[in-house]
């Protein structure tokens, strides 16, 4: 891998962080002038511009520079924040995201819309640039001139009449490429003035002779705050900017011994800190997610072979082998738990994408929505996280489009004009629970009941006897929708069945509850991981199957006279509870004895499975079935036991 390609990955990772900051802060800025949000946007755009310039992605740099021009006018209060302006800036972030995607795929960031967006931004600059002197204090509205070549050591460049500042930058200990970070800082500063001296020199930094501290003297009219923002960024631990008084006691190029006592003490302190920094170790590194996946596959192989070794030890009864295997088993368990923790990702990774969605959908529908996120620090395995974004996106759009009313309608109902949409997450025992609730009109139960009858899902008589919970279950039928008209947001016949199937594919479940006039709540219950689970190994007709232990309620004896018929179905009375019996004959054949019944549960429903034998519990690795032979209803995947037997893992959710 070339050095440029190594930096490409770093650029993409940091650019995505800056892009997320820009979008989030723009949504804050849209609610009203917020100096903190403006500074955050300006810093992120400026950092992204400098990184793009250093990597040679000219179109990305040009678009960021034009955005920076507009932002500088907003900061100077010569340009008002308005909805059309925010729309334009958000459109720019959409293009930037596409450019980053292209760069990640190996491209150069080319995009056909940048020229049009730059022209639109220039119109806003012309509109708000009445006071040019104020604008120039933040950043020049014209394209920055190429940086002057670094003057020879001991012969600083001419600052002219501009003030001179000393900028001290400390790169974070977590930075894996401190020299690259320092060069990005220098590139950013070059755009704001003339760099007079650098310590260490550019050549030394370029050759990798750089620890953590950079000191730059620069002649600039931009001011201290603009210089501080330019030097700040990802993996920058500290930035200080101070004016340099060009008197006889502190002239440019003077020897260190001519510094005033206070400056001399500061230099000594920094030198001591640099010496200490040299002895510190790197505590954090960036790891490609594909490498983690590969390590996880190796851990899964160890788990499988751990079971194999235990069986061999039990078969041959070798004491020394038992002792060695117990040590290996403990190490594999610790490694497995550690890998599971490493793969856990906070839900904020996907939650932070949704404020923009809420803003766009609400604007499209002419609604006012307050979006609240809670519990984003709750963690999920990335295998679960990958399939969660689309279902949540659909529920959020559904909540705004169908749930929250128009402002005028809410006022007539005695509600606030602004609707509330709340997305929250928390741990509940072994599961992660994600809730999406709104304070809208709720679901019209009778309308759903009528729609179900119209579609032939139930007769009028049967529908009238259904409970509210049973009626709401119709919403998850394929193609079921109560939308009166089709829009580009929802109502195209792709309904909540997509959400249900996606969540069940993640071994989770979804519930919905609603109070007419008060709102609706969706609850997603998910396992924290799907890779390694506890199962019960049972036998039906000599065939082994695995059933997730979190679905098992109990194991009981079964006799033929205990089975009763209710219509065409079988049931058993167990502890004053009538349980339907589901036989897996079509999948595995009829049980040879069938004198054991395994009670399993999904949500509030239980059923009994007749078995021949219960072998016991075991921790197994579940491999997705669709990679091998395609999907099969009732089977969530396969696992390989220690003796090499390939065993199907039953999906209790779809079975019940």
Q: What is the pLDDT of residues 204-214, one digit of tens each?
A: 887 777 888 99
Mean pLDDT of the 140-157 span? 39
Q: pLDDT grade, residue 492 (50/70/90)?
A: very low
Is there a domain that residue 520 lies in?
A: yes
Is there a domain that residue 159 lies in?
A: no
Strand 419-428 relative to strand 509-515, pairing? unpaired
Contact yes or no for 206/3 (Cβ under 8 A): no
Q: What is the pLDDT of residue 422?
A: 95
| pLDDT of residue 276 exceeding 60 | no
Q: What is the pLDDT of residue 92?
A: 93
Strand 194-199 relative to strand 635-640, pairing? unpaired
List, in order, residues 6 or more apart from 18 with CB less than 8 Å away.
Answer: 44, 45, 47, 48, 234
Q: Which of 14, 30, 40, 68 is catalytic?
A: 68
| pLDDT of residue 452 exceeding 70 | yes
Question: Is 61 among the catalytic positions?
Answer: no
As given in the structure block, the two tokens for residue 126 are 């012309």
Question: Is 46 among the catalytic positions?
Answer: yes
Among candidate residues 212, 246, 216, 251, the one with its CA nearest the CA of residue 230: 216
Q: Is the pTM of this model over 0.85?
A: no
Mean pLDDT of the 588-608 span? 84
As given in the structure block, the two tokens for residue 197 are 């001296």
CA 78 vs CA 27, 89, 229, 453: distances in Å: 20, 17, 20, 61
Q: Taking the C-alpha atoms of 154, 160, 161 and 166 in order, what is their torsion angle to the nearest 10 degrees? A: -30
How many angstroms separate the CA atoms of 135 and 409, rounded?
44
Mean pLDDT of the 252-260 span? 43
Among candidate residues 96, 89, 29, the one with its CA nearest the CA of residue 59: 96
| pLDDT of residue 433 exceeding 60 | yes
How many angstroms separate the CA atoms of 119 and 78, rounded?
19
Q: What is the pLDDT of residue 54?
A: 78
Q: What is the CATH number of the domain that holds 317?
A: 1.10.287
Strand 419-428 relative to strand 369-374, pairing? parallel
Question: Is 426 among the catalytic positions?
Answer: no
Q: What is the CATH number of the domain that holds 580?
A: 2.40.50.180
Mean pLDDT of the 433-443 span? 92
CB atoms within 10 A of CB 597: 22
17 φ/ψ angles, rounded to the nearest 5 degrees: -65, -45
DSSP assigned state of 477: S
The tens digit of pLDDT for each residue in 501-557 reads: 888 878 788 889 998 889 999 999 888 766 677 889 999 988 999 998 888 888 988
The tens digit of pLDDT for each residue in 262-272 reads: 545 555 555 55
Contact yes or no for 201/209 (Cβ under 8 A): no
Q: What is the DSSP string of 601-645?
A: EETTEEEEEEESEEEEEEEEEPEESTTTT--BTTEEEEEE-TTS-
Q: What is the pLDDT of residue 162?
A: 83
Q: pLDDT grade, residue 493 (50/70/90)?
A: very low
DSSP assigned state of 400: I
Q: pLDDT grade, residue 220 (50/70/90)?
A: confident
| pLDDT of residue 74 exceeding 90 | no
Statement to judge: residues 339 and 358 lie in one domain: no
Domain with 616 in it = 532-655
Statement to judge: residues 171 and 68 lie in one domain: no
| pLDDT of residue 274 exceeding 70 | no
Express as a percent the part of the chain with pLDDT over 90.
17
Q: What is the CATH number of the domain that holds 420?
A: 3.30.565.10
Q: What is the DSSP string of 199-242?
A: ES-HHHHHTT---SEEEEEEE-SS-HHHHHHHH--TTEEEEEEE
Is there a domain that residue 603 lies in?
A: yes
Among candidate residues 7, 234, 12, the one with its CA nearest the CA of residue 101: 12
As given in the structure block, the two tokens for residue 528 are 């924290």
| pLDDT of residue 490 exceeding 80 | no
Half-sphere exposure of 129 (CA within 13 A, CB side): 19
Q: What is the pLDDT of residue 481?
A: 67
Helices (H), 76-214: 83-104, 114-128, 132-136, 178-190, 202-206
Q: What is the pLDDT of residue 368?
A: 92
List, in order, residues 6 or more apart from 656 with CB less than 8 Å away.
Answer: 582, 600, 601, 602, 605, 606, 607
List, in order, residues 6 or more apart from 278 with CB less than 8 Å away.
Answer: 211
Q: Which of 398, 401, 405, 653 is catalytic?
A: 398
Strand partners, 497: none
Statement to judge: residues 488 and 401 lie in one domain: yes
As given in the structure block, the two tokens for residue 435 are 């809730």
Statement to judge: residues 340 and 359 lie in one domain: no
Number of structural domains the chain divides into: 5
| pLDDT of residue 423 exceeding 90 | yes
Q: pLDDT grade, residue 468 (50/70/90)?
A: confident
Mean pLDDT of the 187-206 span? 84
Least reliable range by pLDDT among 7-11, 224-228, 285-289? 285-289
Q: What is the pLDDT of residue 246?
A: 59
| pLDDT of residue 131 exceeding 50 | no
DSSP assigned state of 377: T
**Three-state DSSP class for residue 295:** helix
DSSP assigned state of 592: S
Statement to judge: residues 172 and 124 lie in one domain: no
Contact yes or no for 471/448 (Cβ under 8 A): yes
Cα angle for residues 86, 14, 194 (degrees, 5° grid): 85
Q: What is the CATH number of the domain that holds 36?
A: 1.20.120.160
Statement to judge: residues 379 and 504 lie in one domain: yes
Is there a domain that residue 466 lies in?
A: yes
As given in the structure block, the two tokens for residue 53 are 């310039």
Least reliable range by pLDDT among 279-288, 294-303, 618-627? 279-288
Statement to judge: residues 600 and 474 lie in one domain: no
Statement to judge: residues 483 and 380 lie in one domain: yes
Q: Per mean pLDDT, which of 4-18, 229-243, 626-640 is the most reliable?
A: 229-243
Statement to judge: residues 315 and 455 lie in one domain: no
Strand 532-540 relative to strand 194-199, pairing? unpaired
Q: Which of 240, 275, 310 is the last residue of a domain?
A: 275
Statement to judge: residues 504 and 548 lie in one domain: no
CA 295 to chain centre: 21
Q: Which of 477, 501, 526 is the last residue of a domain?
A: 526
Q: Which of 46, 300, 379, 653 is catalytic?
A: 46
DSSP assigned state of 274: H
- Which secondary structure element, helix H or strand E, spans residue 524, and what is its range? strand 519-526
Q: What is the pLDDT of residue 160?
A: 67
How many angstroms separate the CA atoms of 65 and 55, rounded?
15
| pLDDT of residue 167 exceeding 90 | yes
Q: What is the pLDDT of residue 653?
A: 73
Mean pLDDT (the chain, rounded): 80
Mean pLDDT of the 384-395 span? 86
| pLDDT of residue 395 exceeding 70 | yes
Is there a domain that residue 297 lies in?
A: yes
Statement to judge: residues 102 and 31 lie in one domain: yes
| pLDDT of residue 258 exceeding 70 | no
Higher pLDDT, 625 or 33: 33
CA 651 vs CA 133, 386, 508: distances in Å: 69, 20, 11
Higher pLDDT, 495 or 55: 55
How many angstroms separate the CA atoms of 310 and 642, rounded?
8
* Sign of the CA dihedral running 625, 629, 634, 635: negative
How many angstroms separate the CA atoms of 170 and 187, rounded?
16
- Which residue's structure tokens are 């008209």? 485
Q: pLDDT grade, residue 342 (50/70/90)?
A: confident
Q: What is the pLDDT of residue 646?
A: 85
Higher pLDDT, 124 or 530: 124
């Amino acid at each position: 891998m070339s050095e440029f390609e190594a930096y490409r990955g770093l650029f993409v990772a940091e650019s995505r962080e800056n892009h997320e900051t820009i979008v989030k802060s723009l949504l804050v800025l849209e609610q009203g002038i917020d100096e903190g949000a403006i500074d955050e946007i300006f810093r992120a755009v400026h950092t992204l511009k400098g990184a793009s310039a250093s990597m040679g992605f000219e179109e990305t740099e040009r678009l960021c520079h034009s955005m920076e021009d507009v932002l500088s006018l907003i900061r100077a209060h010569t340009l008002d924040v308005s909805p059309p302006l925010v729309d334009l800036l958000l459109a720019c972030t959409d293009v930037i995201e596409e450019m980053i995607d292209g760069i990640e795929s190996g491209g150069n960031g080319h995009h056909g819309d940048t020229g049009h967006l730059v022209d639109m931004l220039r119109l806003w600059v012309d509109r708000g640039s009445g006071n040019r002197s104020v604008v120039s204090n933040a950043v020049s509205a014209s394209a920055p001139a190429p940086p002057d070549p670094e003057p020879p050591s001991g012969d600083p460049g001419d600052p002219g009449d501009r003030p001179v500042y000393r900028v001290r930058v400390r790169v974070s200990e977590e930075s894996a490429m401190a020299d690259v970070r320092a060069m990005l800082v220098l590139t950013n500063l070059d755009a704001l003035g003339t760099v007079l001296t650098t310590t260490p020199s550019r050549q030394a930094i370029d050759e990798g002779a750089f620890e953590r501290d950079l000191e730059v003297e620069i002649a600039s009219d931009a001011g201290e705050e603009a210089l501080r923002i330019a030097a700040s960024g990802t993996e920058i631990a500290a930035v200080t900017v101070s004016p340099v008084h060009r008197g006889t006691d502190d002239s440019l190029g003077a020897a260190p011994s001519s510094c005033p006592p206070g400056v001399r003490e500061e230099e000594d302190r920094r030198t001591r800190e640099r010496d200490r920094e040299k002895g510190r170790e790197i505590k954090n590194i960036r790891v490609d997610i594909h490498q983690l996946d590969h390590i996880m596959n190796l851990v899964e192989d160890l788990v499988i072979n751990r079971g194999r070794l235990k069986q061999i030890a039990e078969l041959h009864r070798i004491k020394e082998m038992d002792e060695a295997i117990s040590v290996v088993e403990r190490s594999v368990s610790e490694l497995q738990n550690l890998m599971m923790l490493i793969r856990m990702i906070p839900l904020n990774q996907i939650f932070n994408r949704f404020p923009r969605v809420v803003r766009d959908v609400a604007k499209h529908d002419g609604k006012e929505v307050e979006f609240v996120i809670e519990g984003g620090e709750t963690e999920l395995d990335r295998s679960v996280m990958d399939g969660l974004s689309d279902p949540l996106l659909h529920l959020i759009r559904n909540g705004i489009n169908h749930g929250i009313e128009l402002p005028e309608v809410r006022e007539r109902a005695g509600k606030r004009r602004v609707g509330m949409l709340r997305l929250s997450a928390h741990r509940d025992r072994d599961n992660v629970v994600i809730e999406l609730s709104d304070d809208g009109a709720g679901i019209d139960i009778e309308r759903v009941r009528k729609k179900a009858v119209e579609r032939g899902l139930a007769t009028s008589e049967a529908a009238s006897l259904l409970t509210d919970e049973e009626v709401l279950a119709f919403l998850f039928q394929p193609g079921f929708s109560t939308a009166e008209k089709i829009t580009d947001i929802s109502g195209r016949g792709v309904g909540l069945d997509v959400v249900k199937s996606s969540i069940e594919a993640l071994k989770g479940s979804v519930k919905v509850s609603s109070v007419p006039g008060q709102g609706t709540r969706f609850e997603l219950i998910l396992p924290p991981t799907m890779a390694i689970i506890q199962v019960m190994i049972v036998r039906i007709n000599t065939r082994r199957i695995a059933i997730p232990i979190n679905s098992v309620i109990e194991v009981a004896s079964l006799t033929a006279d205990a089975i009763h018929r209710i219509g065409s179905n079988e049931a058993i009375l167990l502890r004053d509870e009538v349980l339907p019996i589901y036989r897996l004959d079509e999948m595995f054949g009829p049980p040879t004895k069938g004198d054991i019944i395994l009670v399993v549960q999904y949500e509030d429903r239980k059923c009994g499975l007749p078995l021949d034998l219960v072998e016991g519990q075991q921790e197994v690795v579940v491999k997705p079935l669709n990679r091998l032979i395609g999907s099969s209803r009732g089977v969530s995947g396969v696992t390989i036991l220690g003796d090499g037997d390939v065993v199907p893992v039953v999906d209790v959710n779809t079975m019940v």
